[in-house]
Amino acid sequence: MKIQLGRKLYPCQDKLHCTVCQQLFNVGQIRSLLYRDSGFLQGDVCPACAKLTAHDFKQKMILNARILLQRANMQESQTITLHEQALELLETSKENIKFPTVWQRLWMELDVLAQDTQALEEARLGLQSTSDRQRLQRHLLLDDDHAQN
C-alpha cells in the first residue's frame, strides 16, 4: 500500500472520514489518499494518521477493522458494508506501506500554489479585459453621439 498525494478537486466535501481511524477531519488543498498495491483506492488519510510510523499506521488500521466488525454485528442493516470495509482494511494492513517523501509533499504544495496563482492571474486578466472592453464600448458610443451632432 502507499499514500499518494492528490489535489483537492471540487466538489469535494470540506470534511471527510479517515480510512485508518474513522475520525472526521478537515480536508486541505492537498489530500492524502491510501492506495492498495493493486491500485485500489482505499480512501482518505487524515493528517494525524499520515504522520504515524508504518507499524502504528497498520496497528490503527487493524484496530479500526475490529471496531467495524463489532459494529457490523450490532447493526444488521449495514452488516455487509461494514463487514466488507473491515475485511478490506485487514487485507490492506498486511501490505508494506510507502509514505510520500518530503520532496513530494513540497512539490505538491508548490504545484497547488502555482495553479492557484495562475487561476487568480487569469481571473484578474479576465476582469481587466472585460473592463477595457466596457471602456472601449463607452468611447465608441460617445464618438457616435458626437458624430451625430
Distance CA 147, CA 74 (A): 85
- Per-residue pLDDT tens over the stretch 121-138: 887 777 665 555 555 555
| Cα dist from 140 to 97, 129, 130, whole Å | 66, 16, 15
- State the pTM of this model: 0.57
Phi, psi of 88 (to 5 degrees): -65, -45
d(C-alpha 49, C-alpha 67), whole Å? 17
Q: Detail the DSSP E strand segments found in the chain.
A: 2-7, 15-17, 24-26, 30-35, 41-45
Q: Is 95 or 136 the better-scoring residue by pLDDT? A: 95
pLDDT digits (tens, 9 = 90+) for 27-72: 888 888 999 888 888 889 999 999 999 899 989 988 888 888 777 6
**What type of residue is 144?**
D
